[in-house]
């Protein structure tokens, strides 16, 4: 009987020590693109006759449709459809265009997306121009076969539709 009491106490302690923490653990990244990176995106926009808003971080965006409703925060679960391109190539390296979209926690995405998505609301769409330091940086992105689909230090563009925010 004494062993059973100790076992019950041990199990109770185990479950109370595994209690999940409440709140958001994501913090706004304090990263800024270099002047050269910003200049490259500005040159791309000018060459292609595009206009975009520059954020202090060096991310640029064009709000195609503002949408309405909740503003995404770093801890928000967002549902999106998107096409991701290597800037200047027109070739997608990643895409999700499904009826249901795909869910992400905003704070887990690359910094460039974290910085721009709060400017669009559900039902809206945005184009985001991201320098390498706020994207994938010096990391090459590979597909499931190990083939590089996005070289290191690439400038990228996302066309994103925000379907919902939770």
Assign residue 83 the CATH number of its domain.
3.10.50.40
Q: Encoding tokens for residue 13? A: 């302690």
Residue 5 predicted with pLDDT over 80: no
Q: Do 81 and 75 form a contact (C-beta atoms < 8 A)?
A: no
Q: How high is the pLDDT of residue 22? A: 61
* pLDDT 10s digits, 51-60: 999 999 999 9
Question: Is 146 within the bounds of a domain?
Answer: yes
Q: Per-residue pLDDT averaged across 100-109, rounded?
A: 96
The boundaries of the domain holding residue 53 are 29-165
* Number of domains composing the chain: 1
Question: Is 122 within the bounds of a domain?
Answer: yes
Question: Is 1 within the bounds of a domain?
Answer: no
Q: How high is the pLDDT of residue 12? A: 34
Cα(125)–Cα(31) distance, integer angstroms: 24
pTM: predicted TM-score of the whole model, two decimal places: 0.85
**Mean pLDDT over the full length of the chain:** 88
Q: Encoding tokens for residue 75? A: 């801890």
Residue 23 pLDDT grade (very low, low, confident, very high; cuts 50, 70, 90)? confident
Percent of the chain with pLDDT over 70: 87
Question: Is 10 within the bounds of a domain?
Answer: no
Question: Is 15 within the bounds of a domain?
Answer: no
Question: Is 155 within the bounds of a domain?
Answer: yes
Question: Is 57 within the bounds of a domain?
Answer: yes
Question: Is 79 within the bounds of a domain?
Answer: yes
Q: Encoding tokens for residue 30? A: 């304090």
Q: How high is the pLDDT of residue 112? A: 98
DSSP structural state of residue 29: -
Ranking 3-12, 21-30, 57-66, 91-100 by mean pLDDT, the lowest is: 3-12
Q: Per-residue pLDDT averaged across 7-32, rounded?
A: 57
């Amino acid at each position: 009987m004494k062993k059973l009491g100790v076992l019950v106490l041990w199990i109770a302690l185990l479950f109370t020590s595994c209690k999940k923490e409440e709140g958001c653990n994501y913090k706004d990244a304090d990263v800024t693109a270099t002047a050269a990176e910003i200049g490259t995106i500005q040159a791309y926009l000018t060459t292609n006759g595009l206009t975009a808003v520059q954020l202090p971080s060096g991310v640029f965006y064009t709000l195609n449709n503002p949408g309405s409703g909740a503003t995404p925060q770093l801890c928000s679960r967002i549902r999106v459809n998107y096409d991701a391109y290597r800037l200047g190539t027109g070739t997608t390296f990643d895409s999700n265009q499904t009826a249901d979209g795909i869910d992400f926690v905003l704070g887990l995405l690359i910094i460039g997306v974290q910085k721009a998505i709060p400017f669009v609301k559900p039902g809206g769409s945005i184009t985001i121009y991201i320098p390498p330091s706020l994207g994938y940086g010096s990391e090459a992105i590979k597909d499931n076969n190990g083939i590089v689909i996005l070289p290191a230090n690439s400038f990228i563009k996302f066309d994103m539709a925000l379907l919902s925010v939770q």
